[in-house]
C-alpha cells in the first residue's frame, strides 16, 4: 500500500472520533433548543462530553471490528455506508447496555436517537471529505497507482477504458504490453516504473503468469489478474478433510435453503411496494405506448427461467407491432426482418444487440434508454417467475447455444437487474457477462442485492451502456 493511502487510512481514525464527539454536542443542543417533547431535566453538556470521551475506545473498537479501517483500496460509498450504519448502531447498543447495567446516570432517550442519526451522517460526511481530498490530489499525481496492463483482449479494453475514464479510482496506466512483453519486463519496468501489474488476459499460460508474479514479488509491487472460467467456477470452495485426506468441496449458491426463502420474501414485499410507488409512471408509459403506435401496450415473450422453465416475460412494447416477433405479433415477416438485422449483430455470443434499431418507435427509444419498458416485469417478480436482482432471462434460442458453463446462469431465478447491468451493461462481452452472473450466484447476499439495486438506479439515470 502506498504511503498516501496509509496516511488517509490513519486519518480516518481521528476524523471519525471527532465526528462522534460532534454528534453528541449537536444532539444535546438539538434536544435542548427544539423542545418537541418538554424537557424535565437533562444532564449538563459537560457530563455528556466526559461520557463520550470516556467511551471513545469502545467506538474505535467497534469501528475496527466492522472493517472501517481495513488497509484496502476504497471499495465504494454504498459498502462503506453499510459498515458505518452497522458500526454506529452496534456502538449505540453497547452504550445503552452499559448505561442500563451500570446505572450511572440516565441519558435522554431523544438525545440517544439524535446521536445515532447524527453520527451516521457526520461519520459519512467526514469520510466523504477525506475521499474528496484524496481524489483531488490524484489530479496532481499524488497517491495514484501507476500500473502496467498485460493483455490485449476485450477484458483489457474494458479495464483500460475504466481506469482512464474513472479518475476517482486513482490509477494511471504507464504501459500496455502483450504476452511478448513478458520477456522484456525488466527493461519495460525500468523505463516505466509501476506500483502494480494487472494481467487482463487470463488465457496467458500459467508459466508466463507465474513469471510475472515472481517479477512482482521480486520488485515489491502489486499483482492483479482477471480470472479464467475455471477460477470463476472454483471461487466458492471450502477445504475439508475426509479420512485425513484434504478435499475441495464446491459449495452451492447461498440461495439454497433459507437464502431462497429470504430472497423470495424480499422480492414479494419489494415488488409490491415498487409497484405502488411507480404505478403513476407505469400508467403514463402505458398511455405513451398506446397513443404513439398501434398495437398492444404490453409485449409478451417466452423466456427461460429457473431450472430451464419457460415463462411469459412482460415488457412495455417499444417496437412497432408489425416488427415484434411472435405469432401474436408480426409473425413470419417480423422473424424475417430480425434475421436480416441479426447479420449486423454487434454483440458476441448467443445474444442480439444493435444500436439504432430501426424497429423501435420514437417513444420506444425513450423507454428503452430509461429502462421504463422493464417495469411490467414487477408482475413477473410477484408471480415468482423472476427476482428483483439476478441474471437476465434469456431467449430459448439463446439457451440452445449455451455450453455447460453458461448454463450456470439458469441456476437461480432471473432478475430485472443484475451485476452485469451495473458493471458495464452493453460494453461487456458475453463471456464477461456470464462470469459476473456466476459470481453473483456463488456470492449472493441481501447486501449484494441492495448494492446492485441502488447502483442500477444510478446506471439508469446515466443511461450508461443502454442500446
> Which tens digits make up the pLDDT trace of 343-388?
776 666 777 777 778 888 999 989 988 889 999 999 999 999 999 9
467 — pLDDT class (breaks 50, 70, 90)? very low
Whether residues 105 and 168 fall in one domain: no
Rounded CA gap, 155 and 146, in Å? 19
Number of domains in the chain: 3
Whether residues 422 and 284 fall in one domain: yes
Residue 350 confidence (pLDDT): 76
Residue 60 confidence (pLDDT): 92
215-224, 232-241, 325-334 — most confident range: 215-224
Render pLDDT for 121-149 as a digit per residue (tens, 0 to 9). 999 999 999 988 988 888 888 888 898 98
Whether the predicted pLDDT of 243 surpasses 60: no
Residue 252 domain-assigned (yes or no): no
Rounded CA gap, 45 and 48, in Å? 5
Whether residues 304 and 424 fall in one domain: yes
Residue 97 domain-assigned (yes or no): yes
Least confidently predicted of 43-52, 275-284, 346-355, 427-436: 346-355
Whether residues 448 and 326 fall in one domain: yes
The answer to whether the beta carbons of residues 444 and 236 sit under 8 Å apart is no
Rounded CA gap, 4 and 428, in Å? 33
Read off the C-alpha cell for 241: 478433510
Whether residues 162 and 121 fall in one domain: no
Mean pLDDT of the chain: 81
Least confidently predicted of 248-262, 323-337, 413-427: 248-262
Render pLDDT for 255-296 as a digit per residue (tens, 0 to 9). 766 788 889 999 999 999 999 999 999 999 999 999 998 888
Residue 238 domain-assigned (yes or no): no
Residue 104 confidence (pLDDT): 56
Domain termination residue (choose one: 86, 104, 138): 138
86-90, 228-232, 431-435, 442-446 — most confident range: 86-90
Residue 236 domain-assigned (yes or no): no
Whether residues 360 and 420 fall in one domain: yes
Phi, psi (rounded to 5 degrees) for 392:
-70, 140
Whether the predicted pLDDT of 106 surpasses 80: no
Whether residues 210 and 281 fall in one domain: no
CA angle 353–414–268, rounded 5-degree value: 135
Whether the predicted pLDDT of 72 surpasses 70: no
Q: Residue-wise over 226-236: b if at least 16 C-beta within 10 A, else e?
A: bebbeebbeeb
What is the CATH classification number for the domain harbouring 207?
3.40.50.720
Domain termination residue (choose one: 105, 138, 171): 138
Whether the predicted pLDDT of 37 surpasses 80: no
Counting other chains too, the contacts that 250-254 makes at CB distance below 8 Å and 24 or more residues apart are 251/442, 253/411, 253/412, 253/441, 253/442, 253/444, 254/442, 254/443, 254/444, 254/445
Q: Residue 88, exposed/middle/buried by CB under 10 A (0-12, 13-18, 19+)?
A: buried
Whether residues 299 and 210 fall in one domain: no
The answer to whether the beta carbons of residues 381 and 409 sit under 8 Å apart is no
Domain termination residue (choose one: 106, 138, 170): 138
What average pLDDT does the segment 188-209 reach?
85
**395 or 344, which is more confident:** 395
Residue 234 confidence (pLDDT): 52
Read off the C-alpha cell for 19: 465526528
Whether residues 187 and 134 fall in one domain: no
**Secondary structure E strands in 253-328:** 298-304, 310-316
Domain that holds residue 167: 145-226
Whether residues 371 and 302 fall in one domain: yes
How many CA atoms are closer than 13 Å to the CA of 188, on its beta-carbon side? 21
What average pLDDT does the segment 95-111 reach?
67
What average pLDDT does the segment 66-81 reach?
73
Read off the C-alpha cell for 146: 501507476
Whether residues 335 and 274 fall in one domain: yes
Residue 243 domain-assigned (yes or no): no
pTM: 0.60
Amino acid at each position: 500500500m502506498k504511503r498516501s493511502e496509509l496516511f488517509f487510512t490513519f486519518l480516518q481514525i481521528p476524523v471519525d472520533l471527532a465526528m462522534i464527539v460532534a454528534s453528541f454536542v449537536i444532539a444535546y443542543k438539538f434536544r435542548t433548543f427544539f423542545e418537541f417533547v418538554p424537557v424535565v431535566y437533562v444532564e449538563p453538556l459537560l457530563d455528556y462530553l466526559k461520557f463520550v470521551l470516556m467511551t471513545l475506545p469502545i467506538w474505535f473498537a467497534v469501528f475496527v471490528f466492522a472493517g472501517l479501517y481495513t488497509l484496502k483500496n476504497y471499495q465504494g460509498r454504498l459498502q462503506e455506508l453499510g459498515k458505518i450504519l452497522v458500526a454506529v448502531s452496534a456502538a449505540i447498543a453497547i452504550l445503552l447496555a452499559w448505561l442500563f447495567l451500570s446505572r450511572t446516570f440516565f441519558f435522554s432517550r431523544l438525545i440517544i436517537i439524535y446521536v445515532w442519526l447524527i453520527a451516521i451522517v457526520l461519520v459519512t460526511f467526514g469520510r466523504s471529505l477525506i475521499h474528496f481530498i484524496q481524489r483531488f490530489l490524484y489530479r496532481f499525481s499524488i497517491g495514484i497507482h501507476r500500473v502496467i496492463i498485460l493483455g490485449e483482449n476485450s477484458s483489457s479494453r474494458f479495464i483500460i477504458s475504466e481506469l482512464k475514464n474513472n479518475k476517482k479510482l486513482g490509477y494511471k496506466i504507464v504501459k500496455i504490453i502483450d504476452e511478448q512483453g513478458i520477456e522484456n519486463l525488466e527493461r519495460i519496468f525500468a523505463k516505466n516504473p509501476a506500483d502494480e501489474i494487472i494481467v487482463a488476459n487470463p488465457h496467458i499460460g500459467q508459466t508466463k503468469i507465474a513469471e510475472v508474479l515472481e517479477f512482482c514479488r521480486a520488485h515489491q509491487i502489486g499483482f492483479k489478474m482477471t480470472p479464467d472460467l475455471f477460477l470463476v467456477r472454483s471461487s466458492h470452495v471450502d477445504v475439508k478433510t475426509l479420512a485425513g485426506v484434504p478435499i475441495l468441496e464446491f459449495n452451492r449458491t447461498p440461495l439454497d435453503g433459507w437464502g431462497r426463502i429470504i430472497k423470495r420474501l424480499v422480492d414479494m414485499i419489494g415488488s409490491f411496494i415498487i409497484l405502488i410507488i411507480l404505478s403513476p409512471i407505469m400508467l403514463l408509459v402505458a398511455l405513451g405506448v398506446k397513443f404513439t403506435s398501434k398495437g398492444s401496450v404490453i409485449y409478451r415473450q417466452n423466456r427461460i427461467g429457473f431450472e430451464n422453465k419457460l415463462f411469459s416475460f412482460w415488457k412495455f412494447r417499444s417496437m412497432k407491432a408489425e416488427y415484434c416477433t411472435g405469432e401474436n405479433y408480426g409473425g413470419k415477416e417480423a422473424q424475417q426482418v430480425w434475421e436480416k438485422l441479426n447479420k449486423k449483430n454487434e454483440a458476441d455470443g448467443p445474444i442480439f444487440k444493435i444500436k439504432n434499431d430501426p424497429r423501435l418507435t420514437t417513444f420506444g427509444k425513450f423507454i428503452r434508454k430509461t429502462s421504463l419498458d422493464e417495469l411490467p416485469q414487477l408482475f413477473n417478480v410477484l408471480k415468482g417467475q423472476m427476482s428483483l436482482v439476478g441474471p437476465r432471462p434469456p431467449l430459448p434460442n439463446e439457451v440452445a447455444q449455451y455450453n455447460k458453463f453458461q448454463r450456470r446462469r439458469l441456476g437461480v431465478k432471473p432478475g430485472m437487474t443484475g451485476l452485469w447491468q451495473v458493471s458495464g451493461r452493453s460494453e461487456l462481452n458475453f463471456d464477461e457477462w456470464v462470469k459476473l452472473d456466476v459470481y453473483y450466484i456463488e456470492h449472493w447476499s441481501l447486501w449484494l442485492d441492495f448494492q446492485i439495486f441502488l447502483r442500477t438506479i444510478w446506471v439508469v439515470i446515466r443511461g450508461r451502456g443502454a442500446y
